[in-house]
Amino acid sequence: MGVELTSVGTLISPRQAFEDNMRPAKLLLRVFRLLECESLQSDGDLVKALREVVGASHDEELMLIYNEIFIGLVRERAQIPSSALKASALTNLLRQAVVAACTGLDTYLPSLIRAHLPTVIEVRGREFLPSDKSLQDYFKTLTFSLTDTLRLLKDPEAPLFIANKILGFMDFKYLSSTKGVHTAGALLSVEDPWIKIASQLHRDKAELESIISETAKRRNDIVHRADRPQKDPNGPVQDISYVWTRQAVDTVEHVCLTLDELVTNKMAELKAQER
């Protein structure tokens, strides 16, 4: 219930799956930092010395990447043009880091609900749906057929059935961006999720929500318009920087891990009430 199976049958929690999904985003950031340099070098004393070290002929084209954390030599046989290593091209690594981080968020929130909502329903019963107007309005059109109702009368798996019914009803677009974080937390009995997340991180609530919203919006620009803004889809590609991307990726990670901690603690409380 609420877990995934690997090829060897190991159970994966929503948190572990999220961290697995976030690794590509963080790797892309690290690769960008390795390849970032003011200019590629194709001659000079260091290039000459490395040419001898690798045994390259005098007419083989070499490109040296040199910065404060990395020295790399790209040989001609790599078939990588110098244009692919220019700053304007490397920023695509940052764009893909944004996409990967948002994918981690989008897959984490449904899996978190799927893993824990049956427990909430089983323990809280009719009171499981929080007194949250936006959620209550959203679920107004959720209906159960007569067959569904009869099944629930004696079904020991009724909480799981109801949880799956809710997940099947929910439009996953509803779980995107800041609304998704609030929805997941509220459904899992975490009151005022954003306030609690901000408190745990000692951050401003509005700032956190703004970063998550801007990151999700930027992901949509990247995926649907090659990073052109929605208001000007035929305009120039938007600039992107390492520091902005790092902040976006880190904020997604910190928010989700904090939510996971809050939900884990809440589930422990509910299970204690049940006992």
Could you state, in order of their start, the residue ranges of all structural domains in the chain? 4-35+86-274, 41-80
Q: What is the pLDDT of residue 275?
A: 66
For residue 79, give every residue at least 6 positions away whose Cβ sits within 8 Å of its Cβ, in sequence order, or none.
none
Other C-beta atoms lying within 10 Å of the C-beta of residue 25: 23
pTM of the model: 0.86
- Is pLDDT of 205 > 80? yes
- Is pLDDT of 173 > 80? no
pLDDT, average across residues 204-218: 97
Burial 53-71 (b: 16+ CB within 10 A, else e): eeebeeeeebbbbbeeeee
The CA distance from 105 to 223, in Å, is 16
Hey, what are 139's tokens?
């679920």
Whether residue 46 contacts residue 57, with contact meaning beta carbons closer than 8 Å, is answered with no
Query: Could you give the maximum distance between any two Cα atoms of the chain, in Å?
Result: 82
Mean pLDDT of the chain: 89
Instruction: Tell me what percent of the residues of the chain surpass a pLDDT of 70.
Output: 94
* Residue-wise pLDDT tens digits, 55-111: 999 999 999 999 999 999 999 999 999 999 998 899 999 999 999 999 999 999 999
Whether residue 169 contacts residue 140, with contact meaning beta carbons closer than 8 Å, is answered with no
* Residue-wise pLDDT tens digits, 233-258: 999 999 999 999 999 999 999 999 99
